[in-house]
Amino acid sequence: MRGTVFVAGLGLIGGSLAKTIKKAHPGATVIGYDIREKEAGLAEALNIIDQSVPSFSEGAEQADLIILAVPVVQTEEMIHQLAQLPLKEEVIITDTGSTKKKIMDCAEVLLERRIAFIGGHPMAGSHKSGIAAAKEHLFENAFYLLTPSEHTEEKYVAILKKWLEGTKAKIIELSAADHDHFTGVVSHFPHIIAASLVRQASRHDRSHPLISRLAAGGFRDITRIASSNPEMWKDISLHNRETLLALLNEWKEEMESVIQLIEEENDTLLFDYFKEAKTFRDELPVKAQGAIPAFYDLYVDVPDYPGVVSEITAYLAEERISITNIRIMETREDVYGVLVISFQNERDRARAKTCIEKHTNFDLFLA
């Protein structure tokens, strides 16, 4: 495809989309803008975009496709700016925000001008951030949700899908309301629960400092999403307020029922409670990407002798397998290994498992 693509917001998501579109559509011109001039300059230097522009309006006015890859609050501000600009007649505007209904309501000002706005949410991420972390395969096999308005012409949705085909993502269309409900259940709500678990542990740690050491194992893993950007999650929580309030009230009722089962020492119903959770969790897709970015961890049950960690990493380095993190776990309850190695994707983890099995007889487990 030919035309000008304008990416506003050159972080991980915006940069990765720019990189993907640039590769899939070499006839297109990709321009970018970021309030952080250094990031915009780096994007141009790394050839992620063809050119950076000095202002949001300058980039928007020459674009055939505008991608708003900024936090949801800034997305609303940019939509209002776009409503005042002399945009191209056939321009398509989309965003990458994690909530959709408030964004789509805000975009009514564009729809009144017969400007095509299609809500978007690429459900992918990384442990890294910023333009330097941008990569072409970030969205591969991930869900990419689109929430067109009921007034949006189908031809514009088809054109946007064509622009995005290089992502190799699974593109799904749904309503903004359904989007916010689904992501609320499997992404937004779990973030709140993870944050609350960590806060509770923090309170107990003040009087019992050993708790933070014990939490280095399984607790740290199951609450990993609590390390996400607090500013972003404040905005998401307020944007998806109605859904989250309903889910939190359901959760309160759920916890009250568990309290009752424990108080009554009802072993039969407690067994059923944990069994139903285990059954549903075990049936979840293993390799598919979902609302929360997957963690590709490999647990290695290594013997305790000097140099064992460097030995493992040397084997991986020989086969040029990149790792994103490595740590030794002090607690082992419900965890098989003491050495946890994290990878960027399932392919690297599988290669690492084969590599370590080839050189050692250590036990390996996937989380």
Q: Nearest CA to 5 among 117, 97, 116, 93? A: 93
Give the C-alpha separation, 255 to 222, whole Å. Answer: 18
Tokens 């075990």 identify what position? 282
Are the beta carbons of 299 and 364 closer than 8 angstroms? Answer: yes
Give the C-alpha separation, 115 to 96, whole Å. Answer: 18
> Phi and psi dihedrals of 338, rounded to 5?
-105, -20
Residues of the chain with pLDDT under 50: 331-337
Quick one: CA torsion of 217, 223, 224, 229, rounded to 10 degrees? -150
State the span(s) of the chain assigned CATH 3.30.70.260.
Answer: 296-366
Using alpha carbons only, give the angle 257, 260, 264 rounded to the nearest 5 degrees: 145
Give the C-alpha separation, 199 to 91, whole Å. Answer: 46
Adjacent-strand bridge partners of 67 = 7, 94
Segment 38-86, tens digit of pLDDT? 999 999 999 999 999 999 999 999 999 999 999 999 999 999 999 999 9
Q: Please, where are the H alpha helices in the chain? A: 12-24, 37-45, 56-61, 72-82, 101-106, 108-111, 154-164, 176-183, 189-205, 210-214, 218-222, 230-239, 241-263, 267-282, 308-318, 346-359
Q: Residues 230-238: contacts with CB within 8 Å, 24+ apart?
A: 231/71, 232/71, 232/98, 233/191, 233/195, 235/71, 235/72, 235/73, 236/72, 236/98, 236/99, 236/188, 236/191, 237/188, 237/192
CATH superfamily of 3-174: NAD(P)-binding Rossmann-like Domain (3.40.50.720)
Q: Nearest CA to 167 among 21, 325, 356, 285? A: 21
Amino acid at 162: K
Q: Nearest CA to 332 among 297, 299, 307? A: 299
Tokens encoding 340: 């946890």
Tokens encoding 204: 């107990």
Residue 336 has a pLDDT of 40
Residue 209 has a pLDDT of 84
Are the beta carbons of 142 and 123 closer than 8 angstroms? Answer: yes
Adjacent-strand bridge partners of 52 = 32
Residue 217 has a pLDDT of 66
Residue 286 has a pLDDT of 62
Residue 189 has a pLDDT of 95
- Report the CATH fold assignment for 179-282: 6-phosphogluconate dehydrogenase C-terminal fold (1.10.3660)
Assigned CATH for 296-366: 3.30.70.260
State the span(s) of the chain assigned CATH 3.40.50.720.
Answer: 3-174
Segment 308-359, tens digit of pLDDT? 888 899 999 999 998 878 877 654 444 444 688 888 777 888 899 999 999 9
Give the C-alpha separation, 185 to 197, whole Å. Answer: 17
Give the C-alpha separation, 117 to 137, whole Å. Answer: 25
Residues 6+ apart with CB under 8 A from 334: 217, 218
Residue 332 has a pLDDT of 44
State the span(s) of the chain assigned CATH 1.10.3660.10.
Answer: 179-282
Say what the pTM is. Answer: 0.78
Residue 287 has a pLDDT of 55
